[in-house]
Amino acid sequence: MIFLRYSILTILTLLFLNSCKKDLKNSHLKINSLNEIQIDSLTIEEQDSVLSQLFENSLDLKNNQESRAYLIELASFLDEYGDDEHYVKILHRLKTFLTEEKDTLKLGKLYNEFGIHYESLSKFDSAYSYFDRAEKQYQLLGDKLKIGKMAISKASILYDFGIYTESESEAIRALEYFQAANTIEFNYECFHLLGLILCELKEFETSLHYYDKTLESLRYIEQNHLFTPKEITEAYAALYNNIAGVYELKESYKEATIEYEKAFNLENIEQVNPLLYAALLNNRATTKMELGNTDNVLEDLTKAQNIRDSLSQPHELNMSYLRISEYYAIEKDTATALNYAYKAYNNAKRIKNLLDQREALQYLIRLDRTKQLKYNQEYVTVSDKIRSKERQTQHKFARIAYETEQIENQVKLLQIRNRNTIGIASLATLLLLGIVGLLRMKYRNRRLQHQNAQQQADEKIYQMILHQQELSERAKNEERQRIALELHDGVVNRIFTTRFNLMQLESPMHDYKNLLIDELQKAEIDIRNVSHRLTEKGEFKNATFKSMVEDLINKQKNSFDTKFTLSLDQAVNWSLFSLNERLQIFRILQELLQNVNKYSKASQCTVWFLKKENDLVIKIIDNGIGFDQNTKSKGIGFSNIQERAKSISANLTITSKIGSGTQITLILKDFHNRES
């Protein structure tokens, strides 16, 4: 069924050929010298001269990154303008360079480019060989998608040569790789090819099953816009054409006609792909003839012939000649039927297509009984040639498969060695990491011991400072009391006595005496006020701890520029708290502020000291990122804070939520009921 064989090129052209072609072309560096060449404005002779000169200039290039990039660009340039001879030579040069550099990825792309090139020239054995080499490179890289692409390319070549069982195996292998890479668009390609293969193997129901899967994949591709509208139309038309072909082989001609009509109902199919449209016309006409309906058959066959002739497609033109011959045979016009059969035979001989020659000879044997013996002999000769060529082809692909297996075995051996190397390296790494971990743990323990010792030393120093401050404050208070007493009992009494005696003294300077008495009374009042202020204790008792807290807040800085604010309730009498209580409050505040600086990322942090009834309430509130209290681990710092709070019988609560900041509250109960 030649019309089935046609569509495999359509399938691969739609998706794979273009995507693979881009692999090499999209990988190159932009070379200004090539981009600046205005080659389209030159004559054919001038273009050939320029391309030849570019090739000659490239021969002096050394193997370096810039040269390889330029050769990739040059290969694409030569391919674009049809210089196949120099294009292939550049690819071989690149192969040498990349092999020297052991660049597996680019070698794979290069071999793929060779395969596509030889496939376009119908040199399928060379194409198969290069696709196989490309696959080996991608196997080294473990690239499942590219391995699958190479497998489907090989499967399509095997199909075209009629090696269906091996083609099926390659297609299934490609499908496994594509499914592993989760690429539905390439699953479509495999399903379609499997449908073609199983049709050739006469497994029609299984073939239709795979065509159903192809249709599902194609609908997914259409919904997700993975193909252009033109490609979608071509894909549906090819699929309907092939499904109809299965029904034809099953002799279900009405169902085949329905599938052909689906293809003709596609929008602009004639303009989108004239060659495919011609195949549909030819095939629908054949189906109609099988149903005994010749209405418009000749018009369809003639139109298909004209399209194929205009597109210079000799193989497809043979199919048109033979179908027209069949039509005239049905119409009992043997002379015209024989004429078209001769056309097909002579054209097949001209293009050296043995399969077309054999099919044309079948028509001639049936139509020209006078030369039946001659055509039978030729038929046997041609059939022998076809069988011989098929055997040669099978042996050739078997040899390639054998070489592939040998290299696969080498790859597996290399993988085993690599796994062993990786295993040894992993064990060595784990051992090294264990040693490093132990050393880090040892270092960390030492650091923690040092930190604990430093913390204990700091606390002792702080206790000594507070104790010294208390002694100093006590001495200051005692000295204030003594001075106040001296002023009140000594100086004030003397001034009073002097003022009283002055009042009793008779003097002609009465006004001046009264002025002196008033000044002495004012001095007496001022000294008494000074004495009273010296005896007041609250301000001086609270000043030291308050100043230490203010100094702590003022010194806070971090990388996210948090603004720290302190609010101290003046009603709090710090003299009611013991030295240890003040020390623990100060240390808790230090630790909490350190956490704000490390983790909060806050722009604002406020510290409150409040007297609430008889309780002291301390709050630290920030507007930072917060944390999840259910998942946040409680480290050493938090444990220390809890221990300090517990040591002074304080209640500690933490409220935080991700994105909503953190609030920490410390409450000391009934401190104001204490006696100073």
Contacts of 208 (CB under 8 A, 6+ apart): 195, 243, 246
Measured between alpha carbons, how far is residue 632 from residues 256, 621, 637, 658 in Å?
68, 18, 13, 11
Which DSSP string do the residues of 319-379 spell out, in sequence order? Answer: HHHHHHHHHHHHTT-HHHHHHHHHHHHHHHHHTT-HHHHHHHHHHHHHH-GGGHHHHHHHH
Q: How far apart are CA 512 and CA 528, in angstroms?
A: 24
Which helix (H) or strand (E) covers residue 621, if one does?
Answer: strand 615-622
Instruction: Answer yes or no: are the C-beta atoms of 260 and 241 closer than 8 Å.
Output: yes
Q: Left (φ > 0), alpha (ψ -120 to 50) or beta: where does 144 sit?
A: alpha
Q: In the predicted model, what is the mean pLDDT of residues 397-411?
A: 60
Exposed e or buried b per residue across 88-102, where buried means at least 16 C-beta atoms within 10 angstroms of its C-beta: bbbbebbbebbeeee
Q: How far apart are CA 416 and CA 429, in angstroms?
A: 19
Q: In the predicted model, what is the mean pLDDT of residues 432-436?
A: 87
pLDDT at 251: 92
pLDDT at 122: 74
Instruction: Answer yes or no: are the C-beta atoms of 669 and 611 closer than 8 Å.
Output: no
How far apart are the two ends of the chain, measured CA to CA in Å?
112
User: Which DSSP symbol is given to 660?
Assistant: S
Instruction: Look up the CATH number of domain 552-673.
Output: 3.30.565.10
Tens digits of per-residue pLDDT, 164-210?
A: 888 899 999 998 998 888 877 788 889 999 999 999 899 999 999 99
Q: In the predicted model, what is the mean pLDDT of residues 50-73?
A: 76
Which helix (H) or strand (E) covers residue 277, if one does?
Answer: helix 274-290
Q: How far apart are CA 493 and CA 499, in angstroms?
A: 10
List the structure tokens of 61: 């290039």
**Is the pLDDT score of 138 beyond 90?**
no
Q: How far apart are CA 341 and CA 367, in angstroms?
A: 9
Q: How far apart are CA 164 and CA 307, in angstroms?
A: 31
Q: In the predicted model, what is the mean pLDDT of residues 410-430?
A: 76
Neighbours of 47 (CB within 10 A): 17
Whole-model pTM: value is 0.51
Which of 646 and 510 is assigned the larger pLDDT? 646
Tens digits of per-residue pLDDT, 272-330?
A: 999 999 999 999 999 999 999 988 999 999 999 999 999 988 888 989 999 999 999 89
Name the phi and psi angles at 664, rounded to 5. Answer: -120, 130
Name the phi and psi angles at 507, rounded to 5. Answer: -150, 140
- Show the DSSP H helices in 26-103 as ranges: 32-35, 44-58, 65-80, 84-101
Which helix (H) or strand (E) covers residue 584, if one does?
Answer: helix 579-595
654 beta partners: 664
Which DSSP string do the residues of 448-517 spell out, in sequence order? Answer: HHHHHHHHHHHHHHHHHHHHHHHHHHHHHHHHHHHHHHIIIIIIHHHHHHHHHHHHHS--S-HHHHHHHH
Q: In the predicted model, what is the mean pLDDT of residues 2-25?
A: 40
Q: How far apart are CA 517 and CA 499, in angstroms?
A: 6
Task: For the sheet with 651-656, list strands across it.
Answer: 563-568, 604-612, 615-622, 662-668, 651-656
Q: In the predicted model, what is the mean pLDDT of residues 591-598?
A: 90
Tens digits of per-residue pLDDT, 515-534?
A: 877 777 777 777 777 766 66
Tens digits of per-residue pLDDT, 489-503?
A: 667 667 777 876 777
**Is the pLDDT score of 8 beyond 60?**
no
Helices (H) and strands (E) in the chain, counts: 26, 5
pLDDT at 403: 60
Instruction: Answer yes or no: are the C-beta atoms of 114 and 21 closer than 8 Å.
Output: no
List the structure tokens of 384: 């022998």
Q: What is the mean pLDDT of the chain?
A: 80
Contacts of 310 (CB under 8 A, 6+ apart): none
Q: How far apart are CA 271 and CA 570, in angstroms?
A: 92
> How is the chain split into domains, by residue range?
432-536, 552-673
Tens digits of per-residue pLDDT, 465-477?
A: 666 766 766 676 6
**Is the pLDDT score of 74 beyond 90?**
no
pLDDT at 17: 36
Handedness of CA 376, 378, 381, 383 (dihedral sign): negative
Which helix (H) or strand (E) covers residue 606, if one does?
Answer: strand 604-612
